[in-house]
Amino acid sequence: MQTATIKFERFQHAAEDDCQQRIVAAKAKLGKKLVILGHHYQQEGVYRHADFTGDSLKLSRHAAATDAEYIVFLGVHFMAEVADILSRPEQISILPDLSAGCSMADMANLAKVERSRRELSKLLDFDKTITPLTYINSAADLKAFCGEHGGIVCTSTNAPKMLEWAFAQREKVLFFPDQNLGRWSGYKMGIPLEQMPVWDPDQPMGGLTEEQIKNAKILLWKGHCAVHQMFREQNIINFREQHPEGLVISHPESPFEVCLNSDYVGSTEFILKTVNEAPSGTRWLVGTELNLVNRLAEKMKPEGKHVQFMSHVVCECSTMARIDPQHLAWTLENLAEGHVVNQIKVADDEAELARLALQRMLDAS
């Protein structure tokens, strides 16, 4: 007999231990029908249930490769969208809490990008001159925009390579929504800072002069990650004064000065790999989200490595944190009963164009 969908209210106040047991039981019942993909910023109470963990690039590859009927994403909205776009039509992508968005992704939207294109078209032939490049932290319709206009997607791992691809197509790049990733990646390619002006979509002509636009190699969208924006160059100066032998590693969403003063800059997967492989006795200052850093610090302790968070204020990604054991238990129990909740489905025409831009990235990286 068909049962009714279980309401989240029944899980809202469930105890953590109870949720843990329910997750394990439902996961066992679903077996190979289910794959759980977990981003490194997830809280431990759900991260431990992931079949695969990774950064955005690694997880998107897993989503494209899995045969599972249900792909449950422990991450944020754009990640579940990518899983839907890259998986087969009969596979179902699920986000346990629909309010888990990415505030940086929300800093660009299609209306503003289209308006920017119209404004830039007054000055130059957009489709012949500019390659749109969107960070994977963006909505599916922006990826579709890139697919339609000869553009591409990048992640924190492959941004410099995707910029190279973009410049091989056209002379300029419109990079959105993260100015920090765009600036750092452009700088690593040798592009002078003055040729990477910030394009403010809320100002006429991005707030730039005709001269600045004509001279630009990369137009950097005025967007950033509120979590990484909290890291400061002064945090690194203080650390180096106290621990001259210490090493600094940061995520490229951090401000330019932080990246410039770090020993290493890279994706979440790169950060974990680098510190994991470092010699015993090393000391690290890490500039990325708190859940990742806390977990890494615990794991490194027995190996005699000291891992320290870059900021003195809490820099947790509050939207990543919305995926908690209660939501995961609720999602999986429903699936085990044959009820799909919180499916993320991108409209077919949009998905097709977004897939084009994502596939260009996967092929080029």
Q: Which amino acid is at 236?
A: I
Q: Tell me how many residues contact ligand 13P (CB under 6 A).
A: 11
* CB closer to ligand 13P out of 143 and 172: 143
Output phi, psi for 87, to 5 deg.
Answer: -90, 175
267 binds, among ligand SF4, ligand 13P, none (CB under 5 to 8 A by kind): ligand 13P
- 222 interface partner picked from ligand 13P, ligand SF4, none, CB below 5 to 8 A per type: none
Q: Would strands 92-94 and 130-135 be described as parallel, antiparallel, or unpaired?
A: unpaired
| Residue carrying structure tokens 């759980």 | 36
Q: How far apart are CA 273 and CA 288, in angstroms?
A: 14
Residues between 273 and 332 that touch ligand 13P (CB under 6 A): none
Contact criterion met (CB below 8 Å) for 225 and 178: yes
Site for ligand 13P in 136-155 (CB under 6 A): 137, 155
**Residue 78 parent element (H or E):** helix 77-86
Scan residues 115-144 and list those touching ligand SF4 (CB under 6 A). 137
- The closest of 148, 212, 142, 227 to 180, measured between CA atoms, is 227
Return the residues of window 243-282 that contact ligand 13P according to CB under 6 A: 251, 253, 267-268
- Angle, CA of 93, 321 and 135, to the nearest 5°: 60
Q: What tokens does 296 get?
A: 């890494």
- Best CA proximity match to 75, nearest among 105, 38, 107: 38
How far is it, in rounded angstroms, from Cα 185 to Cα 181? 6
| Residue 103 interacting entry, from ligand 13P, ligand SF4, none, C-beta within 5 to 8 Å by type | ligand SF4
DSSP symbols for 286-310: EES-HHHHHHHHHHHGGGT-EEEES
Nearer to ligand SF4, 216 or 286 (CB): 286
Name residues contacting ligand SF4, limited to 295-334 (CB under 6 A): 317, 319-320
Q: If binding is defined by CB under 6 A, does position 225 make contact with ligand 13P?
A: yes
Token look-up 């891992």 returns: 307
Residue window 263-292: x/- pattern of binding to ligand SF4, with contact defined by CB under 6 A:
--------------------------x---
**C-alpha–C-alpha distance, residues 11 and 46, integer Å:** 15
Q: Which is nearer to ligand SF4, 27 or 183 (CB)?
A: 183
Contact flag: residue 56 with ligand 13P (CB under 6 A): yes
Binding mask 73-112 for ligand 13P (x = CB under 6 A): ----------------------------------------
Q: Which residues bind ligand 13P (CB under 6 A)?
A: 40, 55-56, 137, 155-156, 225, 251, 253, 267-268
Q: Which residues bind ligand SF4 (CB under 6 A)?
A: 76, 102-104, 137, 225, 227, 253, 289, 317, 319-320
